[in-house]
Amino acid sequence: MLLLFLLASAPAAWAEASAGTWAGTAAAPALTTLAAYAGLFAAALIAATILPAQSEAVVVGMLATGHAPATVLAVATFGNVLGAVVNWILGRQVDRLRNRPWFPISPEKLDRASGWYRCYGRWSLLLSWAPVIGDPLTLAAGVLREPFWPFLALVTLAKLGRYAVLAAVTLQLL
């Protein structure tokens, strides 16, 4: 699935990078655009892990500077969902990792997220986009052994929805 996404989105990013921007130097605009998308992917991935970060400013900045909205949404969503998958995997391993000094989720936060998850079930993953509770929810999904495919579908829907609303507001469509 990862390979299919990369193969499908790379031509669009490369086409955008090379379309009408070759005045002056041949490679600089294309590399700059590809670097911008790589930065967006990295920001979105890190923002979705249990590390503190945000990707919204990068999304808004890229949309405001004229990057293709569909490509921005695809790259940001893919990175953010992949970060949530990292959390899910960590959750599956939490019994081995929770007492390590570097583990960034406190037992209280994990218990609170697990409580939400037990109360509302897999549908609580529709809040995986939300600040503060979203990342612990994806971790709790792993701890409580949520099957991967329903997890992936709900998290993708939530994160794509968040970026779509952000793009619509940025582009003044709402």
Task: Return the biggest CA–CA distance within the chain.
Answer: 59
What residue type is assigned to position 168 of the chain?
Answer: A
How much is the pLDDT for 25? 53
Band (pLDDT 50/70/90 cuts) for residue 27 is: low
Report whether 159 contacts 128 (CB < 8 A).
yes
Predicted confidence (pLDDT) per residue in 84-141, tens digit: 999 999 889 887 877 777 776 777 777 777 787 788 889 999 999 998 888 889 988 9
Predicted confidence (pLDDT) per residue in 5-19, tens digit: 444 454 455 455 445
Mean of pLDDT values over 142-170: 96
- Global pTM value: 0.78
What distances in angstroms separate CA 99 from CA 78, 106, 113, 145, one per listed residue? Answer: 30, 10, 18, 19
Q: Residue 78: which of 19, 38, 116, 32 has the closest Cα? A: 38
